Structure 1
Amino acid sequence: MAFNSPIEWCDHTFNPWIGCTKISPACDHCYAEAYDKRFGGSRWGPKAARIRTSADNWKKPLSWNRKAEKEGVRYRVFCASLADVFDNHNSIEQGWRDDLWELIDATPNLDWLLLTKRPQNIRGMVPWEWFFPTNVWIGTTVEDQKTADQRIKYLTQIPQAVRFISSEPLLGPVDLSNVEWFDGLRFNALEGQLHDKKGFVFKLNWVIAGGESGPNSRASFPDWFTSLRDQCAFASVPFFFKQWGDWVPGEFTDRGGWAMNRVGKRKASPLLDGALHQAFPTVATQWEAGS
């Protein structure tokens, strides 16, 4: 389960194991669960054991690392598209995670994007305390304000690594300037902010947003996306608009809202307000502690 990725914000995907459990509205129409059902559906849900991928699959990142070093580039690796690295299911052996941390350490030319819906588990599962490896990017899914308030507070306590959110599918408006008790985008980037509730917190470095696709997809409204874009622009934080999903805006109605038209993901434009937004954290961001 490792290949050149069609996902616009990464170069490769790597799955150390397969399987997960739905925990929030963003999971309702999970593409990974649908993928698993095509092969028996035995790895999804609270009672289903997660399955480690093959030894050959685990060798792929080493090959990517050698190629990146030879070409003088960095590849972004999404880990994991068919699982959650910070899933605390009892079928996931500690040795699997230990092997993953060693693999990350052995591939310094790859930037590892660890995206989770369980950020509360990060600090207890990684072997790093203060200084995270500079090739580790830690992200959490934020589909609405409720999940923003629940999850970002854990993410922003992590120093050193690039911290990002993925608002895909975006199911409601999100105000990152008022996430439970702080502004997630605009405080001191290098030194962090000392907060009396949580100690030092560090700002977000990147925001990804996109809509939902599939037979039961829900529409994401333009104002939700443009608000995130404008928040990021005001705070000089890179913003990546991935895609509309199946639904695109039609006319603005006299009731004060957008009429959304279902056209399918292939026909939907990747443009937001007529412009392409595909910004990434800079090379400097990757190497500056707390940036």
Structure 2
Amino acid sequence: MVNHAARVVLATTLVLGLGSAGCSEEKKATAAKTPGLSECRKQWGDVADAIVGLDEDKHPSALASRWTSVVATVDYYENTDTATDCQQKIAAQLDAITALRQFSTRLQPYDMEFQADERAADVGRYLADPLPAPTKGKGGKKSRPPKKAAVAAALKTLEDNAAAANAELAPGWGQLASVELTDEAAVKAALQDLEFLAKDSPTWVRCNAALAVIEKAVRAQLGLGPNDPLPVAPTATSSPTSTPSSTPGGTPSGTPATTPTGTPSGTPTSSASVTPTR
């Protein structure tokens, strides 16, 4: 009985292995017959590497559900059997990726869990280093750095309440996960709804006040004035900045006529109206 079971397992393993090897060989054969296909797949692979994990980010501002569609699209083209219009499709997808990243950045000021994670290391450095010197704002007025105890307390407030603050904004997050990014009026309305929810949430307002203390400390540590903008931290995964330079040759038809990105390629043009007042 044991020997029979072992033979079944071995046979199954061999069949699966041969099937996998067959698919791999078939892909290689197709690529060999199709001008530019190997290079096209490689370029799509580079795009895939740049968005790894974005569909699993738990911060609501990350819009993971939108990235799920993008990841599926890139995977489709990375395994396609045609290189027709490869450069145009990659360029369109990179535009869509850039637009979605920029939209996510506009949402981060409202995402208190993101802010807590983003600023924890800054607070650690602030508490470990000597207090920075006062900085000067507009009109030469001095701005003293906040006390370390106040900054530590602010981070605790932010960390303890961030999840609840985000939960109170749940209807807004849901709307933003499906809004048409090329429709600026719809985007503006959705962002205004999110801001209304935020300012109407005592928990979010408390977190926002704590964040203001932390950001004042960060500005002081960087030698910035009280009204100077903070530098934007890079995302965990860098986005491709340009379309690959080589152009694969034409191939047989069969590629979908449109690129199913799931993410419109339009880029929001203004963020001033959605920045929370601190």
Q: TM-score, normalised by structure 2?
A: 0.21
Structure number having the greater strand percentage:
1
More helix by share: 2
Higher Rg: 2
Determine which structure has greater relative contact order: mean sequence separation of CA pairs < 8 Å that are 6+ residues apart, divided by chain length: 2
